[in-house]
């Protein structure tokens, strides 16, 4: 499938999201037959705070991706030895959260190393693993900046948590098209200090991720099978 898209090999293997004939049940269980197909993508490149990262038990994960006309669905399994999130709103990144960056015009601004109006960034966090309370925020583009509703299911595990979430395409600023490459990074932020409000480390699907430079992002392609 790699011949379907233009991609930067130094930014990691392209990610493919498969079409969902039926939306997954967002219950925190990835084992339900037929819900999650395709490749399981590792989230294990340390792109921030290497000095604070003590290994894969501290922070790592993997994800399935699927989609339909309304949502991009993520099925994530996160390893995190201490869940901390006291931040809210546009400061979500200063606690444990899941972040997506998306360049919806990758071909049009292939060489641009600066953020433009077509580049988006959203974050989802589980505030409390026991109750499942959550919060979601869109940082970019400015047209959708602010809180948004993200339907999700979460389940605590002995080593972290499982998260299934539906991200609206409207918030991601994208009318989905198949076999079109989009710039993409899926990342996990981590804080281990109890009550802390400072991002201590981050892992990503993108080995060279830089939040302000889309030329360092990976590639996402939607397929219709």
Whichever domain contains 83, its CATH number is 2.60.40.1190
Q: Please report the pLDDT score of residue 118 as a whole number.
A: 95
Containing domain of residue 123, as a range?
2-8+18-109+118-185+208-223
Residues 6+ apart with CB under 8 A from 185: 99, 100, 101, 204, 205, 206, 209, 217, 218
Check residue 80 and give its pLDDT: 98
**For residue 42, what are the CA distances in angstroms to 76, 123, 146, 206, 221?**
10, 18, 29, 10, 16
Strand partners, 64: 75
Residue 75 pLDDT exceeds 70: yes
Band of the pLDDT at 65, cuts 50, 70, 90?
Answer: very high
Question: Mean pLDDT across the stretch 207-219?
Answer: 97
Measured distance CA(119)–CA(172) in Å, rounded: 9
Q: Is 90 exceeded by the pLDDT of residue 137?
A: yes
**Domain-embedded: residue 212:** yes
- Determine what percent of the chain is predicted with pLDDT higher than 70: 98
pLDDT at 120 over 90: yes
- Examine the pLDDT at 15 and tell me if it is beyond 80: yes
Q: What is the pLDDT of residue 138?
A: 99
In the block, tokens 């109890």 appear at 194
């Amino acid at each position: 499938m790699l011949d379907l898209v233009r991609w930067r090999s130094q930014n990691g293997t392209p990610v493919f999201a498969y079409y969902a004939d039926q939306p997954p049940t967002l219950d925190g269980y990835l084992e339900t037959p037929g819900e999650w197909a395709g490749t399981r993508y590792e989230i294990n490149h340390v792109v921030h705070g290497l000095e604070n990262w003590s290994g894969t038990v501290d922070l790592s994960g993997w994800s399935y991706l699927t989609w339909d006309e309304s949502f991009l669905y993520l099925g994530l399994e996160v390893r995190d030895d201490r869940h901390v999130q006291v931040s809210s709103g546009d400061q979500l990144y200063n606690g444990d959260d899941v972040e997506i960056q998306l360049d919806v015009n990758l071909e049009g601004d292939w060489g641009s190393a600066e953020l433009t109006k077509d580049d988006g960034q959203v974050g989802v966090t589980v505030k409390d693993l026991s109750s499942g309370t959550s919060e979601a925020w869109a940082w970019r583009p400015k047209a959708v900046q602010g809180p948004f509703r993200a339907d999700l299911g979460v389940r605590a595990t002995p080593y972290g948590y499982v998260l299934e979430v539906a991200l609206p395409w409207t918030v991601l600023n994208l009318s989905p098209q198949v076999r079109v490459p989009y710039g993409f990074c899926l990342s996990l932020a981590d804080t281990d200090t109890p009550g802390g409000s400072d991002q201590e480390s981050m892992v990503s699907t993108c080995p060279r991720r830089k939040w302000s430079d889309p030329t360092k992002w990976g590639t996402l392609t939607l397929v219709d099978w």
